[in-house]
A and B are shown apart, each in its own frame.
Chain A
């Protein structure tokens, strides 16, 4: 897929879905309505960016959901009661992510399995911290997440900022180019004298960082946490990256697309509740929307042969 067209699909699907929502519920076309629609999209967008960092280096992270849940539990307990200790724990968890990235590369382990194992570990830690739902969001996070900027709601501003900053980092900086090159051809990167281990650790650390942001933001919105709060983020984030025009191999990702993909998924939920669809079919309709958008992707990729090559690699 050509880089220019890659971004078209997520833009198009978000626009169509947004138009459908406005048609069904014109009152959503307001400051308050938009805020309501996109509020919970901010942590999903951050988690999707975290997943994108891993997919960028040809791996996949099955632990995003439990990691964000773990961070949410830390935020609602330690970060609230003992901020210094809380920050230390969150920094340590980012370091843990970097260490996993290095381990996966050095021992040539399958990332899907190691992150699967880590998902148990993060889940276990979260259960130890908060055996039952509870805790409280630190006041400052609450303030940040509920701030009301003029004209455009906070959720939209936040998503634009996330997309812009990650675009600069991944698509425009030399570090970002190197990281994408690891996904493209790790051997070539190694031969040109870079340490692939360090780069992979860096990509994983970035994923950890954005995972932490997602968890902190989530608690800012929900004001309390529980150990299962973000389990569905694992699948949402993978779907968001792919909806945003990313591919599983070759370092072909798009930060702006990933944020748009996450917004589309978040909006799909609101759209379905506006449709007054029977609750039985809510999940199924989300699956159908996902399939529909991905089917449209076919139109955007005319070069079928290249596809086959990428799929079977």
Chain B
């Protein structure tokens, strides 16, 4: 018993998510060393808050990428924007419409997910192009619906999304709960096994009786629902929906999946790494910010770190 526990601890650095958390810790300490430890709590709380958005959309992207080569959801930013604008306009600041607004956001996610899947399934369009073209439609829909108005979220919802319980931001609690749920689904449920089997060998999965098309449909819907939920939260958090609010989450959602140590070739994913990647993406930017680097250097360093982590992680014999 003790031996196995020891070997579990010793095996931690070999876990694919280890590097994301280790690098996050380094970035955090490097930032604090500049301020001689002041503002550590604020930085941690900001990192936990902003990483929640990346983590939730990243989890959706993770399920899609687990399906294997060519499967990726490029419509996440447009779905976020559409859900954010539609639900905020619907609530129009009224506190009693918070839950119906949430339901509307989720409904947007379900619809866009089904639409994405139908393009892939019925029209046989490669997922990259299908989700990309569909995202143009969602974007237009959001523009047309919103007319550039910035509607404030209901006060109670805004307070909730910026508030915290016992020092932990509410958004982080939600993000961690969703991650736990995703972990259970991926590792402990039959659906999760099916998703992994689909990514490892679709033909074998189909021949062994797995309803592969249902698995794929549910996965795309799941990704869209998580994106629309994030859009709802982000719009409430930032005091209103903006038409470009999802833009940066396209690259981030893919980056956290990869930094977190999921195989981009599909069939192999891990949930903790998504949070590690999400924290890293935020902490690196704030570290470079506090060292006074401009936008250019910040972008170059972000890119170099993504490449370095992927190159280092694949040296662990993870790659195909």
Q: Which residues of A contact B (CB under 8 A)?
A: 60, 103, 107-110, 112-114, 116-128, 131, 235, 238-239, 242, 248-249, 278, 280-288, 290-291, 294-295, 297-298, 301, 304, 307, 311-313
Q: Which of B140, B304, B320 contacts A287 (CB 8 A)?
A: B140
Main secondary structure of the interface of A (DSSP, over half): helix
B residues near A297, Cβ cutoff 8 Å:
124
CB interface residues, B 285-320, toward A, < 8 Å: 294-307, 310-311, 314-315, 319-320
Query: 7 smallest A-B Cβ distances: which pairs?
Result: A284-B140, A287-B136, A120-B303, A124-B299, A124-B300, A128-B296, A117-B306
B residues near A313, Cβ cutoff 8 Å:
69-70
A311 near B140: Cβ-Cβ < 8 Å: no
Q: Which residues of B contact A (CB under 8 A)?
A: 68-70, 72, 74, 119, 123-126, 128-130, 132-137, 139-141, 143-144, 202-203, 251, 254-255, 258, 264-265, 294-307, 310-311, 314-315, 319-320
B residues near A304, Cβ cutoff 8 Å:
124
B141 near A284: Cβ-Cβ < 8 Å: yes
A residues near B301, Cβ cutoff 8 Å:
124
A43 to B50, CA, bound (A): 37
Q: Which of A109, A116, A117, A239 contacts B129 (CB 8 A)?
A: A239
A69 vs chain B, min Cβ distance (A): 12
B136 near A123: Cβ-Cβ < 8 Å: no
A239 near B306: Cβ-Cβ < 8 Å: no
Q: Which residue on chain B has the smallest CB distance to residue A63?
A: B303
Q: Which residue on chain A has the smallest CB distance to residue B310?
A: A113
Known: A124-B303, A313-B69. A294 touches B133 (CB 8 A): yes
A248 to B127, CA, bound (A): 11
A311 near B124: Cβ-Cβ < 8 Å: yes
Cβ contacts A to B, 22 pairs, < 8 Å: A110-B265, A113-B255, A113-B306, A116-B254, A116-B255, A118-B303, A120-B251, A124-B299, A124-B302, A131-B294, A239-B129, A239-B133, A248-B128, A280-B140, A284-B139, A287-B133, A290-B136, A291-B119, A291-B133, A294-B133, A311-B70, A313-B69
A182 vs chain B, min Cβ distance (A): 16
A313 to B265, CA, bound (A): 11
Known: A114-B310, A121-B300, A280-B144. A248 touches B132 (CB 8 A): no
B residues near A301, Cβ cutoff 8 Å:
124
B213 vs chain A, min Cβ distance (A): 11
A121 to B299, CA, bound (A): 6
Q: Which of B69, B299, B311 contacts A107 (CB 8 A)?
A: B311
B125 near A131: Cβ-Cβ < 8 Å: no
- The CB with the most chain B CB atoms within 10 A, among A238, A281, A286, A311, is that of A311
A residues near B70, Cβ cutoff 8 Å:
248-249, 311, 313
Known: A109-B310, A127-B299. A281 touches B139 (CB 8 A): no
A residues near B307, Cβ cutoff 8 Å:
113-114, 117-118
Q: Which residue on chain B has the smallest CB distance to residue A294?
A: B125
B74 vs chain A, min Cβ distance (A): 8
B264 near A113: Cβ-Cβ < 8 Å: yes
A286 to B140, CA, bound (A): 10
A128 near B306: Cβ-Cβ < 8 Å: no
Q: Which of A110, A281, A291 contacts B140 (CB 8 A)?
A: A281
A312 near B202: Cβ-Cβ < 8 Å: yes
Known: A109-B314, A238-B132, A286-B136. A125 touches B300 (CB 8 A): yes
B95 vs chain A, min Cβ distance (A): 30
A112 vs chain B, min Cβ distance (A): 6
A residues near B128, Cβ cutoff 8 Å:
60, 238, 248
Known: A112-B264, A298-B123. A120 touches B302 (CB 8 A): yes
- The CB with the most chain B CB atoms within 10 A, among A117, A123, A281, is that of A117
A77 to B296, CA, bound (A): 16
Q: Which residue on chain B has the smallest CB distance to residue A100?
A: B307
A124 to B304, CA, bound (A): 11
A284 near B136: Cβ-Cβ < 8 Å: yes
B315 near A107: Cβ-Cβ < 8 Å: yes
B residues near A118, Cβ cutoff 8 Å:
303, 307
A residues near B140, Cβ cutoff 8 Å:
280-285, 287
B295 near A127: Cβ-Cβ < 8 Å: yes
A280 to B304, CA, bound (A): 37
A295 to B135, CA, bound (A): 17
A residues near B297, Cβ cutoff 8 Å:
124, 128
B298 near A124: Cβ-Cβ < 8 Å: yes
B residues near A128, Cβ cutoff 8 Å:
294, 296-297, 300
B300 near A120: Cβ-Cβ < 8 Å: yes
B194 vs chain A, min Cβ distance (A): 14
A122 to B307, CA, bound (A): 13
B residues near A107, Cβ cutoff 8 Å:
311, 314-315, 319
A122 to B302, CA, bound (A): 11
B146 vs chain A, min Cβ distance (A): 9
A282 to B137, CA, bound (A): 9
B260 vs chain A, min Cβ distance (A): 12
A312 near B203: Cβ-Cβ < 8 Å: yes
A124 to B306, CA, bound (A): 14
A313 to B307, CA, bound (A): 26
